Amino acid sequence: MQFKKILCVTKTTCYQTCPITPASLPKFKRDRLHKEHLYHQHAIEKAKQQAIKYNLNITFIADQDLTQLVCKKYDLVLTLGGDGTFLTTAHYTKDTPILGINSHPVIAGSRGALLSTTVTKIPQLFNALKNCSLKFSLIRFPRLIATLDQKPLPSSALNEIFFGPTEQDKTLEFKITIQNQKVQKVNQSQRANQSQIVLSSGAIICTSRGSTGWYTNAGGKPFEKSLGIGVLIREPNPTHSLTFSQMIIPSSSTTTLEWGGQEGFISFDSRREGRYHTDNKRHILTISSSTKEGLWVVKI
């Protein structure tokens, strides 16, 4: 398969966006950010040199300059960064396939769980793209989509949707309802559409690919994609009796959260472009999984 027009989305490092001064950051963090920035810049230069070497029609753009209109113009989108760069790019990509390249696979925290290759393999990748000999599979990653008060939200999530109070040091009372014919709990199965009233710091609803990230850090257990969607009540108040605090539900399920009297916060994949704040009126957030709205990912 030939990709005639290729877009490469590069990570904007924290070193480029943060005020790097002794007054703003401690020395250990300034040193780390500078080191990571230099490594990433080297990766970009390597990619550009290899694009020239193999005479590939690749346009390079920083992730902070992305728009949906830009991504629609290309046959293939490469991301050069980490999982965060991939998630940001996915926000602006609908039908164009994405191939993720980890620009710094050796640093702590750069897992590259969503990525297909690393910066060290760029020469082989670009050579294969030039010769139309790239061996790959095209996989559709399902996304989580949501409606707020029956109106679709423009964002979607590959990893997770977080819901909670706007004020991080507060808890929020909300009603959570799982609507499905069969619900699988962590250690047992049962049939029901379940509802419960919760007082907690929020809830995380995640895909299997997102289950190794924030969901796990918050106390959830990673699960395989065949199991569906993970639902985790974050820091529940023990004075409220819960029928579940963690649950794995089939992909066909719908999760509904209802609250009021307090401002709420909704986050898609922890991306700046996927954050929403609500007022203190009554609101209903409905979350479901969609393969139709999924992301085409190139795996090599």
Query: Mean per-residue pLDDT for 222-231?
Result: 88
Q: What is the structure's pLDDT at 187?
A: 47
Count Cβ neighbours within 10 Å for each residue of 160-184 and write b for 16 or more, e otherwise. bbbbbbeeeeebbebebebbbeebb
pLDDT of residue 271: 92
The predicted pLDDT at position 19 comes to 74
Q: How many Å is the Cα radius of gyration of the chain?
A: 21
Residue 265 burial class via C-beta count within 10 angstroms: exposed 0-12, middle 13-18, buried 19 and up: middle
> Which CATH superfamily groups domain 143-291?
Probable inorganic polyphosphate/atp-NAD kinase; domain 2 (2.60.200.30)
**6-135 matches 143-291 in fold:** no
Q: What is the pLDDT of residue 1?
A: 74
Q: Which residue's entry shows tokens 């699960």?
A: 223
pLDDT of residue 182: 56
Q: What percent of the chain has pLDDT over 70?
A: 94
pTM of the full structure: 0.89
pLDDT over 90 (residue 193): no
Over residues 59-83, the mean pLDDT reads: 92
Q: Which CATH superfamily is domain 6-135 in?
A: Probable inorganic polyphosphate/atp-NAD kinase; domain 1 (3.40.50.10330)
- 236: which residues sit within 8 A by CB, 6+ positions away? 198, 199, 200, 242, 245
Instruction: Give the pLDDT score at 165.
Output: 97
Q: What is the pLDDT of residues 96-105, one digit of tens each?
A: 999 999 998 8
Q: Which has the higher per-residue pLDDT, 255 or 180?
A: 255
- What pLDDT, on the 0 to 100 scale, is given for residue 110? 61
What pairing do the DSSP bridges indicate for beta strands 117-118 and 98-102? parallel
Model confidence over 14-61: pLDDT tens digits? Answer: 889 887 777 788 999 889 899 999 999 999 999 999 999 999 999 999
| CA–CA distance, 54 with 152 (Å, rounded to integer) | 43
What pLDDT shows up at residue 38?
93
d(CA 170, CA 103): 38
Question: Which pLDDT value is given to residue 192?
Answer: 57
Q: What is the DSSP string of 9-76?
A: EE---HHHHS--STTTS-HHHHHHHHHHHHHHHHHHHHHHHHHHHTT--EEEEEGGG--HHHHTT-SE
Most confidently predicted of 14-18, 264-268, 289-293: 264-268
- Contact between residue 248 and residue 186 where contact means Cβ atoms under 8 Å apart: yes
Q: What is the DSSP letter of 186?
A: S
Q: Which tokens in the block code for residue 133?
A: 């000999």
Higher per-residue pLDDT: 214 or 193: 214
Instruction: For residue range 135-191, list pLDDT tens digits in order.
Output: 999 999 999 999 999 999 999 999 999 999 999 899 999 999 999 755 555 544 555
Residue with tokens 């907690």: 200
Q: What are the extents of the domains in the chain?
A: 6-135, 143-291
